[in-house]
Amino acid sequence: MTGLRDILERLSRGEMDLDEALSYIRLLSYREVGSIAKIDHRREDRIDVPEAVLAEGKRPEDLARIVLAHLESAGKVIVTRVSADHLNALRSMDLPEGAEMVWYEHAKAVLLKAGQLERTGGRVGVLSAGTADIPVAEEARVTAEAMGCEVLTEYDVGVAGIHRLFPAMERMAGVDAMVVAAGREGTLPAVVAGLTDAPVIGLPVSTGYGAGGNGIAALLSMLQSCSVLAVVNIDAGFVAGAFAARIANRIARRKLSGAEQH
Q: Using alpha carbons only, give the angle 196, 203, 112 rounded to the nearest 5 degrees.
A: 110
Can you say whether the dihedral through the CA atoms of 59, 135, 110, 177 is positive or negative?
positive
- Judged by average pLDDT, the poorest of 17-31, 67-81, 107-121, 134-148 is 17-31
Q: Does residue 32 contact residue 58 with C-beta atoms inside 8 Å?
A: no
Residue 211 has pLDDT above 60, yes or no: yes
pLDDT at 253: 87
pLDDT tens for 21-39 read 877 776 666 666 666 666 6
Residue 242 has pLDDT above 90, yes or no: yes
**Which residues, in sequence order, are bridge partners of residue 39?**
31
Predicted TM-score of the model (pTM):
0.83
Residue 230 has pLDDT above 80, yes or no: yes
Q: Does domain 123-252 have CATH number 3.40.50.1970?
A: yes
So where are the chain's domains? Answer: 4-113, 123-252
Residue 1 has pLDDT above 50, yes or no: no
